[in-house]
Structure 1
Amino acid sequence: MGHMLSVMCVCVCCSYEKIQKENCRSYFSALGRADFSVLSHGLDKKTILFNDAKDCLGISGVSLTSYQVEVLGNMACTLNPSYIQNSHPLILEKLKNCGDLSDSQITAVQSLLLSGNTAYGNPSTWNEQTVEQLSILAVYFKSDLCNTLSFNVRRKFFSVLRKQKIPMKKLRTFFTECNSESATVSNITAVTIADASFPFGFNSTQFDLYLDIAVLQNNLAAITEKVVDTSFQTIILNKLNQIYPSGLNDGVLQLLGSTSRVATIDDISKWNITIIDTLSSLMDSNGGLWEPEKSKAVIMRYLSMGNRSLGSAEINAVGSNICTLNISVLENINAESLKEVLFPDLSSCTIEQKSALYITANTSFSNQRSKAYYQIMRPYLGKTIIHIHRNTKHTQV
């Protein structure tokens, strides 16, 4: 990623007008190796780059040759659906490098694959080798495409995607779009859970029926690691609530992973979050984003159980979720705690929240030299302007 970013910086900063025509293809070939996700979401820069590329490569219309696709490289990630659907199928290989695609781009990818006019052939003929070749593109499959695939091929896709360590949201989308019950299902055992494709092939009714409470309790970590569908996760929580009617304990909570995100506020109010390790596990971003109110409920439940305030360990554990807390809670953070928290993620905090934290941070770091002080204080600034005059810091809001 670092190399890709450096290429992007060099190519974007160098004006296309300064490139000699005979060298422009080398210019765009280098640019095509860049990570286009680092560009802003605004279309202007991407449009300008592609217009320059069209001029260089003699592109007219919406059909790109294999050579043009090869030169454009990762710029394919910025193309509108018409180009994706009408260009040489090599474009699919370039789209594998994209951080994400828009809904309209995804529709174009599916249409191209359904046409059968690609190196992968008709989807009805796909096998395990095709699965390995398509790999990450499967995150964009919709039910129309999945319905043309055999059950075993869909299950293999799910296993391959899981190994790719893709974001939970994308894996969940594939499961929702492509899962269907298999011809035979039976009681869920440790052997069933160990299968790489589990719980593919179960619908939510079957999952509820065949998952025994004792099996869940004895295999909780393995189950929560593999289950991504929210309806299945809700079933898991409901069963755990039967086992622990007075509320889930630390040991259980640390194993929930993304399943914790489907808990209700009422569920969270009963959780026994007594140690910092449990709070860290629940706030781990690998489990997905928390809804703000739920995040606040988890943090406040931990604080209330020990009559605690937010110390440095807690601030580090909750990360960006600190921005879900009330200002009154943030105002109780002491200066010593902030000294041990460098560069907190306050990107989603309101100006009022940043202002409350700024007052404490200013006390924590007021003895820093001017340059270091400004760098440390940047996360807290918001619209606050820091004026540094010699060794004296003044603030103006």
Structure 2
Amino acid sequence: MALVEKIASAAGSPVSLVKHIPNSLAIYIPKSRLAFGDEKPDVQELNQKLWSREQAAMFFNDVLKVESNFSRLSPSVLQGFTCAAANEMETERFQQLAQAMKQKNVKLGEDQLSCLVKRVTLNGIPKDLDDYPKDMLLFLSPSDYAGTGSCQQYVRNVGEANIDLLQRDSPQRKQLLSDALACLNIPDTGVSEEHAEVLGHLVCDLGEEYIRSSGGSLLLQLNQCQSFTPGQEEAIRDVIRNGSTPFGPPSKWSASTLHELRGLFHIFDRSILQKIPQAVLTPWLKSFVHDLPLPREQLAAMVQNLLPSRRKRAAECPPDKNITEAVVMDELMPIYYTPEELQACLQGVTLVEHLAQMSHYPFTDQQLAVLKKKLDELYPNGYPDKVIRNLGAIASLVTFDEIKKWNLTSADTLAFLPSNEPPNDQAAFIITKYISLGNPLNVTALNAIGTRYICLLTEPQLQMIDPDTLKRANSLDPSACPQATKDILYPKAKQAFADKRSQLPAYYLVLDTGMMS
């Protein structure tokens, strides 16, 4: 962000920058600006702001040098834990750090937890594993936990951990489920509600045969799962359609039923959704969209199932379908209008005026096509910047010939890339169009391109990047890029961060190892 750049330039030092940056903007500070070096960080100031894990990793080692009481550190600071910092600590002090992470409920990544386990168990398995982050148990077995408690308690704790840190089909995750089923003595595919409660998140890995055999006893626990296999989804729908669960058939559901099953709502198909009383469903959906945000694509699939399957052509806008200010501000607008009604009732000027909101509503592909048609009619010679920046999901329907008409006048317009995530070929075309108009690859442009699209840049485009720009931009990870890309970026990064070499390990955190491979 341009404002962050200005504040960073004026601040001069990391200590001054952290002190003067508004809390809401701290997350946008490039991590290279957070290497304190010989400066002493103000822990209180750091605690008051929210950081990304990458940012916190930059100053974590510096914080350890000045703070002896880890319980005084915020979760946002503690999440910056690195193995490099851990290796310099004595065992007892390290254990205190790990216990502080448990107390503050710090969310760590798989690599951090793996390192944590190695250090905590370096001199043998502790007898007080319950004092450490629960997610550590994902890397330990029931026998490792035996000194702390029973295997049932181990299973319960693992069930409360974030099993999604491990790949769904990984041997490690499969072993956790196998150990849990053996511990609870579940010999067949029938799982009781009591056992489901103990299994917790491990229920998410039970196959479709378990779901069907267990009737409705697994639904509440399945409600917590982040994702399902197609087989699991169909099994859940079959169980619900059967109507023999404690929740009864969908036609009898209330708002409280929907609330209890809200984690499964996105996999309900037309046969289920159409049976839920509309007087119950529509008001509940308003709160659901806010309280449990889902990817736009999943919401759009639900909208498709909620719209009538047989639709009439609407040559004119029906009297009860006039699009008012209240309607366009309603996130559920897509369920009120078929594509035909949207075509007849939506004015192009209304769309442009509210495009920033409407382009992120869960419209179906057919509805999005209507929105795009409205924009095309208003701007036959290409979209202006104000429209491009707010295209949202409509961008997925834009053709290369249409992009050729765009007049990308600033890097701020290019910044629509991260929020819309167009496919690589389209993104590369947009970036090339932007550069061909004489626009620079400045900090804003690099932040827009980000790790996701950095590998798409051609060698001439990469050569345009100034080392100082690379230093001030958000971190880039080119590890997945062709070697030719790394060969260009690494010398630039080395030059950009030459002043950080004396500040280990911060220097290596800034200079991503992906550039060195």
TM-score, normalising length from structure 2? 0.67
Residue 304 (str. 1) matches residue 436 (str. 2): yes
Q: 1:225 to 1:379 in 2, by over 3 A?
A: same
**RMSD of aligned residue pairs (Cα, Å):** 2.7
Q: Secondary structure at the match of 2:257?
A: helix
Q: Distance in 1 between matches of 2:169 and 2:482?
A: 23
- The alpha carbon displacement at 1:3 in A equals 5.0
Q: Secondary structure at the match of 1:246?
A: coil
- The alpha carbon displacement at 1:36 in A equals 1.5
Residue in 2 that maps onto 1:70: 197
Letter in 1 for 2:258: V
- 1:189–1:215: 8 Å Cα contact kept in structure 2? no
- 1:154–1:178: 8 Å Cα contact kept in structure 2? no
Point out the more displaced range, 61-70 or 195-204: 195-204
Match for 1:340 among 450, 472, 476?
Answer: 472
Q: Secondary structure at the match of 2:511?
A: helix
Gaps of 5+ in 1: 385-397
Identical positions, percent: 25
Q: 1:190 to 1:178 in 2, by over 3 A?
A: same
Residue in 2 that maps onto 1:169: 297
Q: Secondary structure at the match of 1:63?
A: coil
Letter in 1 for 2:417: M
- The alpha carbon displacement at 1:198 in A equals 0.8
- 1:135–1:160: 8 Å Cα contact kept in structure 2? no
Residue in 2 that maps onto 1:318: 449
Point out the more displaced range, 60-69 or 108-117: 108-117
Letter in 2 for 1:314: A
Letter in 2 for 1:336: D
Residue in 2 that maps onto 1:330: 462
Q: Distance in 2 between matches of 1:187 and 1:348?
A: 50
Q: Distance in 2 between matches of 1:4 and 1:358?
A: 28
Q: Distance in 2 between matches of 1:346 and 1:262?
A: 28
Q: Distance in 1 between matches of 2:413 and 2:137?
A: 46
Residue in 2 that maps onto 1:40: 167
Match for 2:364 among 218, 229, 242?
Answer: 229
Q: 1:339 to 1:222 in 2, by over 3 A?
A: closer
Point out the more displaced range, 346-355 or 108-117: 346-355
Letter in 1 for 2:488: A
Q: Distance in 1 between matches of 2:428 and 2:281?
A: 38
Residue in 1 that maps onto 2:390: 255
Q: Distance in 2 between matches of 1:311 and 1:4?
A: 32
Match for 2:247 among 117, 120, 127?
Answer: 120
Residue in 2 that maps onto 1:11: 137
Residue in 2 that maps onto 1:388: none
Q: 1:267 to 1:379 in 2, by over 3 A?
A: farther
Q: Distance in 2 between matches of 1:177 and 1:354?
A: 46
Q: 1:121 to 1:4 in 2, by over 3 A?
A: farther
- 1:158–1:175: 8 Å Cα contact kept in structure 2? no
- 2:446–2:473: 8 Å Cα contact kept in structure 1? yes
Give deviations 1:198-250, integer Å, cap 9, x for gaps. Answer: 12032222222222223323333342232432222222122112112222112
Q: How many residues align?
A: 379
Give deviations 1:31-87, integer Å, cap 9, x for gaps. Answer: 111111110243311221111111211111011111110110011111111112222
Letter in 2 for 1:373: Y
Letter in 1 for 2:509: Q
- 1:227–1:233: 8 Å Cα contact kept in structure 2? no
Give deviations 1:334-374, integer Å, cap 9, x for gaps. Answer: 21211113531436533433333223223322442364333
Q: 1:8 to 1:230 in 2, by over 3 A?
A: farther
Q: Secondary structure at the match of 2:152?
A: helix
Aligned ranges 1:1-397 → 2 under 5 Å: 2-3=106-107, 7-20=133-146, 23-87=150-214, 89-156=216-283, 158-163=285-290, 164-180=292-308, 186-280=321-415, 282-285=416-419, 287=420, 289-305=421-437, 307-319=438-450, 320-346=452-478, 348-367=480-499, 368-369=501-502, 371-381=505-515, 384=517
- The alpha carbon displacement at 1:123 in A equals 0.9
Q: Distance in 2 between matches of 1:226 and 1:177?
A: 16
Q: Distance in 2 between matches of 1:271 and 1:214?
A: 19
- 1:132–1:160: 8 Å Cα contact kept in structure 2? no
Q: Distance in 2 between matches of 1:112 and 1:241?
A: 46
Q: 1:327 to 1:178 in 2, by over 3 A?
A: farther
Q: Distance in 2 between matches of 1:145 and 1:283?
A: 36
TM-score, normalising length from structure 1? 0.86
Q: Distance in 2 between matches of 1:233 and 1:310?
A: 31
Q: Secondary structure at the match of 1:11?
A: helix
Residue in 1 that maps onto 2:14: none
Letter in 2 for 1:378: D
Letter in 2 for 1:235: V
Give deviations 1:167-194, integer Å, cap 9, x for gaps. Answer: 2222122223333279976333323323
- 1:139–1:161: 8 Å Cα contact kept in structure 2? no
